Structure 1
Amino acid sequence: MEATKKQTQTHFVLAHGACHGAWCWHKLKPLLESHGHKVNALDLSASSINMKKIEALRTLYDYREPLMEVMKSLPPGEKVVLVGHNVSGLNLALAMDKFSQKISVAVFLTAFMPDAVHKPSFVIKQVQII
């Protein structure tokens, strides 16, 4: 009798970079899903099909709101692999500050990456872009 291998499903949350949308993950998302993983590729505020107007965004906090909503909606005990491209490194840093218990790993794909000494949002607060 052969033992069956239990597939471990990983939940990926994909955050796009500047001038992109969830569409930029169109090759990665189905590949991960075909291996049994759960994938959320989201449109940040005023990006792609997100209907928020760019004029309504005053801070980086406004821009990253869809990511924070996904993180908030995760059930207790669930952890995700958070992937951010380009400017979404800043969004990942903010999510890491607020939802560290819900993130198993953060992947910075050619993105701003915080250092290991300060809180992830340290640089953002230093340059006051929020």
Structure 2
Amino acid sequence: MCSRSPNPEAQKKHFVLVQRAGHGAWCWYKLSALLISAGHHVTALDLAASGDNPKQINQVHCFADYVEPLIEFMESLPPEDRVILVGHSMGGASISIAMERFPEKISAAVFATAMMPGPTMSYLTIIKE
């Protein structure tokens, strides 16, 4: 029987970290360091008017404006790349949009104490609760 050692590149994952409202990519610094030290690739994004993103809050007129940096990032991925999306709190709404638009580029999604809509649970219902 021939045994092969696993391909280290196949073990590496690309995590895309999406912050909650009112935060920025900076809030992921501990998790980013742990994932990178484990050999993974990490992208932590600043959504519109958050962290270092230059867009001002008065330029964000709708949720599509807010998640535009995530959408642009997903569009920039090569067709063969797959990412693991991680959304915290309101970041769940952001990664939900990316999941709908780019299912072929996502290997998994993690909702970390995040809003997670469903067929009978809209964001308006979640906010009211």
**Does the TM-score normalized on the shorter chain lie above 0.5?**
yes
Q: Distance in 1 between matches of 2:7 and 2:77?
A: 23
Q: Structure 1, residues 85-119: CA drift from partner, whole Å, max 9, x if none?
A: 0111111111111001111111001111122x47x
Instruction: Quote how far apart the aligned CAs of 1:9 are.
Output: 1.0
Q: Which runs of 5+ in 1 are unaligned?
A: none
Could you tell me which residue of structure 2 aligns to residue 76 of structure 1? 79
The alignment status of 1:88 with 2:87, answered yes or no, reads: no
Counterpart of 2:122 in 1: which secondary structure? helix
Could you tell me which residue of structure 1 aligns to residue 122 of structure 2? 123
One-letter amino acid of the structure 2 residue matched with residue 81 of structure 1: I
One-letter amino acid of the structure 2 residue matched with residue 93 of structure 1: S
TM-score (norm 2): 0.86
Q: Distance in 1 between matches of 2:82 and 2:62?
A: 27
Q: Identify the match of residue 62 of structure 2 among 51, 59, 65.
A: 59
Instruction: Quote how far apart the aligned CAs of 1:78 are.
Output: 1.0
Q: Structure 1, residues 22-59: CA drift from partner, whole Å, max 9, x if none?
A: 00000010110111111000100000111100000000
> How many pairs were matched up?
121
TM-score (norm 1): 0.85
Q: Could you tell me the percent identity over the aligned residues?
A: 48
Counterpart of 2:61 in 1: which secondary structure? coil
Counterpart of 2:42 in 1: which secondary structure? strand
Q: Distance in 2 between matches of 1:106 and 1:86?
A: 13
Instruction: Quote how far apart the aligned CAs of 1:19 are.
Output: 1.1
Q: Distance in 1 between matches of 2:4 and 2:90?
A: 45
Counterpart of 1:39 in 2: which secondary structure? strand
RMSD across aligned positions (CA) = 1.9
Q: Distance in 2 between matches of 1:96 and 1:113?
A: 12
Q: Identify the match of residue 14 of structure 1 among 8, 14, 17.
A: 17
Q: Which runs of 5+ in 2 are unaligned?
A: none
Q: Which runs of 4+ in 1 moved over 3 A?
A: 2-5
